[in-house]
Chain A
């Protein structure tokens, strides 16, 4: 199977995010970036499928130059080659605009399977995979924990809400969005890191892909969320804070 995995680079989980001067985006200076974790699970599933039944794993990512480090990480983990769609104004595009870039770059590759994480950790829109399926004219399934190759296509395990699951059969080519926890994530080996340096990273430019870039939905303003409750922060040493909390729980909240 020829598998394409769409991966996104996002601010590191614990990175302090601040609103920038325009209040339309976050301050990107001094920010550390990492591979979007759900996409890491999508990559893991792709690598396992390749190990089981052969084929090729291609990673694709849209974004500025810094995205290259996340692409190298994916190659070090075992992807065969990569496509980098260079785009410096990612935050100006809506989910549809980004999916159009991905679809335009993926289409000529004619993959058997397109995988991506169920959502990104920064914007959390959770739409890219489903829109990609629509743009590519392929069937799809979301929140997938297991993928099994069958004679006619795929049998996948889909997570439903509140601890329920279902199996879905669908033909290939197809698009799946992968839920975390189906597999354990692998680390890149030293050999993998070394080999990644020689693997092909094809550069495409967003401007050359001739897709409609004008957003129909714009992120107008970013604000700090309003507190839903008045939180009493308990200061002091761990012992002081712990003692204060026990007092509060016992006599104020009356839950002890």
Chain B
């Protein structure tokens, strides 16, 4: 009986969120009295395994095959399906990344399971908590079927516990994959265009969301940003509508920021946005809905109509500077 943590890598290194997944797996291991096996996957995994060995004292498995050099859902599902059948873990824990979202539901389906995705807490049972209704509610999910159960954990929800060291054993699992079984041809990743805005280094950010209602209302927040000496950023829907360029987007699909001051205007606070800004030192939220999830991460909140509050705030800041 063991828990399997599948660690994702990027550019030859284990990703930070993978250490969090390993932390979540260890937490689950303590709750259920099980050991944790860590798996790395790819075409050349020796250095990845060494990186894990320095931080993990349990079993480490290299799931390795030349056809896993570049990520494909087909390749990863085939390889991990065979490996999990062989290993028979009770639970399989992943980091909740775009890549995991792309293949883990199909992998789980092969075992007659849904993925319990984007988990933020693990309690006695075990019971897995994930967010519902754009973060307005939490749902506790309990697996009732036979093992294995598949879980992915949200970025930032679990501590990256990496203090243990000295691996017991590193073994290699070689799956059987036929090239014809990989049906998709992935291209090289690229960036859309040279970034001209680096929100990551901004000290102050005014960020605008759906509450602004119309592109014509943007000067309202632009004036606030100017008064504060802040960069202007936005949640995804604003950029989807073309009201601000995509490079000003904060969130899982945009930039990750950690300014001293993050002022969220008309942003409800869906998790996709929160993961991009929750490292901010001081968060201020202005929203007409007092139950909006953004207030859960805010230090200061004003529940009110942004069309009244923002001009008043711009004036107050200008006055304070004089």
Contact = CB atoms under 8 A, between A and B. Distances in A.
A256 B143 CA distance: 49
A180 B187 contact: no
Interface string A150-172: 00000000011111111111110
6 contacts: A13-B210, A133-B106, A166-B186, A233-B290, A241-B304, A249-B284
Main SS class of interface, B:
mixed
A122 interface: yes
Interface in B238-264: 239-242, 246-247, 252-256, 260-261
Interface string B73-115: 1100100000000000000000001100111011011101111
Contacts of B195: 163
B284 A217 contact: no
Interface in B196-227: 204, 210
B58 interface: no
A168 B185 contact: yes
A87 B144 CA distance: 22
Interface residues of B, number: 100
B114 A161 contact: no
Interface string A219-240: 1111111011111111000110
B105 A127 contact: yes
B75 to A, nearest CB: 12
Interface of B: 73-74, 77, 97-98, 101-103, 105-106, 108-110, 112-118, 127, 130-146, 149, 183-192, 195, 204, 210, 228, 236-237, 239-242, 246-247, 252-256, 260-261, 268, 271, 278, 281-285, 289-291, 293, 295-305, 308-309, 311-313, 315-317, 320
Contact of A229 (B133, B297, B308): B297
Given A127-B117, A180-B236, A225-B131, A234 B301 contact: yes
Interface in A24-55: 26
A96 interface: yes
Interface stretch (A1-9, A137-145, A190-198): A137-145
A248 interface: yes
Contact of B144 (A99, A121, A215, A227): A215
Interface in A106-136: 121-127, 130-131, 133-135
Contact of B116 (A97, A217, A230): A217
Contacts of A26: 133, 137
Contact of A170 (B97, B135, B185): B185
B186 A219 contact: no
Given A217-B144, A220-B127, A224-B137, A245 B316 contact: yes
A245 to B, nearest CB: 6
A231 B134 CA distance: 19
